């Protein structure tokens, strides 16, 4: 091979590599596409080459963003064969609270017709996280003012006040029941203390008796030379000790229970509506609890406020079995009427400031395969959020729901307080059940 041939082959190879690099880096494609123009007042940091998603499926890219007539014009390149209907909604989406931006298209209805190529559509202005947090903070302050009677009362505050009033009324009824039975309970507790003291004395005497049975000295040892009698007495004393220990454990059940009311309020910005969860957390002992309640509690006759489709299903059921300590909280069971689990992490439990911060993640509805508002959902629901405890009973934060299908950002407020009266009632029920189980049928 001559030198000229080698040089020519080298130059040809270099040009081939250069053309390949330009092809790849320039994102050149031979796929047939058509162009749409979107007019926005604010694109919220949407960048060139960002994906265009139709009902969560990527169907194109943002080719260019221009300033036109005091706003922003987004030039979209849509894959040929993908029809977008005239009543579709164009808005700026995000993969998370601080994730990358993309152009989200909520599909319209077929009867409205297809948007032709090179048409201009008007998009909805996005709501920035900063504005959302500012509005959420103003609403929370207004809510807290209404709760403390320092400001005008609003609908949410009235509902919360009515809920608390109902809880107080129920607690008052329980107090009346407890007051009615208090004299009998007091006498029962006095007798319980007396029985406990007698059981302690009996245990001490039984220990002394067992020690004497193990020796041949003393009156009892001399009387029990017969091995069979000695074994019978030893078994009898052991049964008495076991019964005494069981009785002390049963009496201790009364004060072991702790019960908390939990109220979660979440505001979903895309559809401009709120979600309410309410439930009861029952802890029979340290590190263990049961949670029962309802989520997305709503009136089925309410109409949506925003133009975006509301995919949340109302009036669901929660029922969890959980374990917790200072670092974490794990619960498994039913979440929003579907099997799942929830994990809450508290990374800095001993720090006076950072100890107020917690992160929560949950997954549920593993077998989901249903159509909601014309869209098919067939993946489990993944929810992630975080919150900060700002007061003994109140925590504030945010969360993103259904990340795998249609992510929805929400502002989150949690109210939790302990109810000692219901806890005392649960303790008495547990004591009565254990006592009935242990009584002789004779």
| Mean pLDDT across the chain | 82
Domains along the chain with CATH numbers: 31-126 (2.40.30), 128-253 (no CATH), 257-422 (2.40.160)
Read off the pLDDT of residues 11-53 as tens digits, 9 standing for 90 and up.
Answer: 788 888 876 666 555 555 567 899 999 999 888 888 888 999 9
Candidate ranges 121-135, 150-164, 337-351; pick with highest mean pLDDT: 337-351
For residues 208 and 113, the model is more confident at 113
Does the pLDDT at position 101 exceed 80? yes
Distance, CA of 110 to CA of 219 (rounded, Å) = 101
Read off the pLDDT of residues 197-256 as tens digits, 9 standing for 90 and up.
Answer: 888 888 888 777 777 666 655 555 555 556 677 677 778 878 777 776 666 666 666 667
Spacing of C-alpha 41 from chain mean position: 35
Closest CA to 255 of 425, 15, 398: 425
DSSP-assigned letters across all residues of 17-66: HHHHHHHHHTT---S-EEEEEEEES--TT--TT-EEEETTEEEEEEEEEE
Query: Using 50, 70 and 90 to split pLDDT, how confident is the model at 439?
Result: very low
- pTM recorded for the entire structure: 0.47
The percent of residues above 70 in pLDDT, for the chain, comes to 81
Closest CA to 387 of 146, 97, 127: 97
Closest CA to 410 of 262, 310, 307: 310
Candidate ranges 122-126, 163-167, 355-359; pick with highest mean pLDDT: 355-359
The residues, ordered by sequence, that sit 6+ positions from 106 with a Cβ below 8 Å of its Cβ are: 55, 88, 89, 91, 308, 309
Read off the pLDDT of residues 267-311 as tens digits, 9 standing for 90 and up.
Answer: 988 888 888 999 999 998 889 999 999 999 987 777 777 667 888
Closest CA to 398 of 406, 390, 408: 408
How high is the pLDDT of residue 200? 85
How high is the pLDDT of residue 157? 59
Does the pLDDT at position 132 exceed 90? no
Closest CA to 237 of 263, 264, 205: 205
The residues, ordered by sequence, that sit 6+ positions from 163 with a Cβ below 8 Å of its Cβ are: 263, 278
Query: Using 50, 70 and 90 to split pLDDT, how confident is the model at 325?
Result: very high
């Amino acid at each position: 091979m001559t030198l000229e041939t080698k040089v020519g082959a080298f130059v040809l190879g270099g040009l081939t590599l250069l053309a390949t690099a330009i092809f790849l880096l320039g994102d050149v494609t031979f796929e047939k596409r058509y162009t749409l123009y979107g007019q926005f007042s604010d694109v919220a940091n949407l960048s060139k080459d960002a994906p265009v998603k139709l009902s969560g499926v990527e169907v194109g890219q943002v080719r260019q963003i221009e300033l036109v007539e005091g706003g922003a014009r987004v030039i979209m390149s849509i894959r040929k064969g993908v029809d977008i209907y005239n009543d579709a909604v164009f808005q700026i989406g995000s993969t998370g609270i601080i994730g990358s931006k993309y152009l989200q298209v909520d599909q319209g209805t077929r009867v409205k017709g297809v948007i032709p190529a090179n048409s201009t559509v008007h998009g909805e202005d996005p709501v920035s996280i900063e504005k959302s947090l500012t509005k959420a903070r103003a609403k929370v302050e207004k809510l807290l003012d209404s709760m403390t009677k320092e400001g005008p009362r609003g609908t949410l505050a009235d509902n919360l006040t009515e809920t608390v009033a109902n809880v107080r009324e129920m607690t008052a009824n329980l107090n009346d029941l407890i007051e009615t039975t208090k004299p009998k309970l007091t006498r029962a507790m006095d007798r319980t203390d007396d029985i406990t003291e007698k059981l302690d004395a009996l245990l001490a005497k039984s220990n002394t008796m067992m020690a004497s049975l193990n020796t041949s000295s003393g009156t009892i040892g001399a009387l029990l030379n017969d091995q069979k009698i000695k074994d019978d007495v030893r078994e009898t004393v052991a049964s008495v000790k076991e019964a005494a220990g069981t009785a002390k454990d049963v009496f201790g059940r009364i004060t072991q229970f702790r019960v908390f009311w939990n109220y979660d309020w979440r505001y979903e910005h895309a559809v401009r509506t709120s979600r309410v969860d309410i439930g009861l957390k029952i802890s029979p002992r340290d590190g263990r609890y049961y949670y029962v309640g309802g989520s997305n509690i709503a009136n089925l006759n309410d109409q949506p406020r925003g133009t975006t489709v509301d995919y949340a299903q109302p009036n669901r059921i929660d029922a969890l079995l959980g374990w917790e300590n200072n670092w974490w909280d794990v619960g498994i069971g039913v979440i929003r009427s579907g099997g799942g689990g929830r994990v809450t992490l508290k990374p800095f439990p001993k720090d006076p400031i950072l100890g107020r911060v917690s992160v929560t993640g949950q997954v549920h509805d593993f077998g989901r395969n249903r159509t909601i508002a014309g869209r098919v959902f067939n993946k489990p629901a993944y929810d992630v959020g975080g919150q900060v405890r700002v007061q003994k009973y109140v925590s504030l934060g945010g969360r993103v729901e259904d990340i795998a299908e249609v992510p929805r950002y929400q502002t989150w407020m949690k109210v939790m307080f302990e109810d000692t009266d219901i806890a005392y009632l649960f303790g008495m029920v547990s004591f009565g059940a254990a006592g009935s189980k242990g009584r002789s049928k004779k």
